[in-house]
Amino acid sequence: MAWTRRREMFPIHRLRDPPPMSSSCDAEELWHLTHGMQRLALAKFARDAQRLRQLTVELATAHMHIDSIDHQLYAHDLQLRRGRDV
């Protein structure tokens, strides 16, 4: 079908009876291809889950450090308010 700058009507029979698949891939080869794709997707999911756990631990550690610094600043501020030289 050549492009004529207008909407072409796609023949209905092409939708009802799609052309046959290429015979270059048999069912077993297609199974191996899809199985391999699934394994790749699962491996990526596992890496993403591991990275998420790692980031969660890093975030918790950062929160603990921030809380510690906040506590030190609060104690320092209390001492200054009481007139003690720190």
pLDDT by residue (tens digit) across 33-84? Answer: 888 889 999 999 999 999 999 999 999 999 999 999 999 999 999 999 988 6
In this prediction the pTM is 0.52
**Segment 51-62, tens digit of pLDDT:** 999 999 999 999
Q: What mean pLDDT do residues 10-17 have?
A: 58
Average pLDDT, the chain: 81
d(CA 54, CA 57): 5
Helices (H), 7-85: 12-16, 27-81
Digit-coded pLDDT (tens) for 18-32: 556 565 778 888 888
Residues 8 and 68: their CA atoms lie apart, in Å, by 69
CA torsion 57-61-66-71 (nearest 10°) is 130
Q: Cα 48 to chain center, whole Å?
A: 6
Distance CA 53, CA 70 (A): 26
